[in-house]
Amino acid sequence: MITLNSAMVMAAGLGTRMRPLTEATPKPLLKLAGRSLLDHALDRIGDAGIGNTVVNAHWFPEQVEAACTARSRPPVVVREEDVLETGGGVRNALPHLGDAPFLVANGDAFWLDGPRSAIARLAERFDPEQMDALLLVMRVASVEGEVGRGDFRMDPMGRLLRPREREIVPYVYAGVQIVHPRLFADAPEGRFSTNILWDRAIEAERLYGLVHDGVWFHLSTPADLRKAEALLAHNLVKPLF
């Protein structure tokens, strides 16, 4: 168990699959249930008692900065002149995140907690002696929307493994993780995906997963967003637990 003092929300992506909604708006600023996806993520981080929060921005960064400034406790905004992807974005923000394990949430991640806070469950499960990263994952069978063949399988100890060739696996990454800074030791400079670092952690048996016990929405396309809005508006999410 750890105490989380820092968090990052990834808000620099181009959101190409969400077009035309993202032609003039960053994807994390799209609205769901009356608030932007970014506000939902920052609200959950604030509710978890995490005081230091960083948000990266690239696509219409002035809009992201304005949204952050409007909050009662504005996060630090780190602009990216070039697209750095998920791994490069976190690496670029490391000076703002400290030396202890920190939370990373995708700016388009939207989840509803189960009986307990997902962030609290991650912090309780994270073991810095064993883990370089702990990912919140969702059972593919419980996801509304198309998620392909899944992202991971999991061994009995909770370690994550990649699918074998042509294998369909039961878990998909839910866009929230706790990361130890050592995951980024010797990481590439510039643009790269976190998948490179996850694969390295898998080889070292230091990438773990925690299955979410609440609701999670896959928000990739405008149709996904409309479906999520309808389910929430009509209180139809309970059957998804």
The domain spanning residue 187 has which CATH number? 3.90.550.10
The C-alpha atoms of residue 27 and residue 29 are separated, in whole angstroms, by: 5
* 109 contacts 9 by C-beta, under 8 angstroms: no
Strand partners, 205: none
DSSP code string of 92-109: HHGGGT-SS-EEEEETT-
pLDDT score of 238:
52
In a domain, 206, yes or no: yes
* 4 contacts 104 by C-beta, under 8 angstroms: no
Task: Tell me the three state secondary structure of residue 82.
Answer: coil
**What is the full per-residue pLDDT of the chain (241 aa) written as tens digits?**
889 999 999 999 999 999 999 999 999 999 999 999 999 999 999 999 999 999 999 999 999 999 999 999 999 999 999 999 999 999 999 999 999 999 999 999 999 999 999 999 999 999 999 999 999 999 987 776 666 788 899 999 999 999 988 888 999 999 999 999 999 999 999 999 999 999 999 999 999 999 999 989 889 899 999 988 988 887 655 544 4
DSSP code string of 177-239: EEE-GGGGTTPPSSS--HHHHHHHHHHTT-EEEEE-SSEEE---SHHHHHHHHHHHHTT--GG
DSSP element (H, E) containing 54 = strand 52-57
The C-alpha atoms of residue 2 and residue 126 are separated, in whole angstroms, by: 7
In a domain, 56, yes or no: yes
Per-residue pLDDT tens over the stretch 25-46: 999 999 999 999 999 999 999 9
The C-alpha atoms of residue 12 and residue 130 are separated, in whole angstroms, by: 30
In a domain, 128, yes or no: yes
What tokens were used for 226?
Answer: 């409309």
pLDDT score of 28:
96
The C-alpha atoms of residue 123 and residue 127 are separated, in whole angstroms, by: 9
Quote the domain boundaries for residue 143.
6-240
pLDDT score of 237:
58
In a domain, 182, yes or no: yes
In a domain, 39, yes or no: yes
Number of domains in the chain: 1
What tokens were used for 204?
Answer: 């070292």
In a domain, 98, yes or no: yes
pLDDT score of 236:
57
In a domain, 1, yes or no: no
In a domain, 177, yes or no: yes
Phi then psi dihedrals of residue 74, to 5 deg: -65, 135
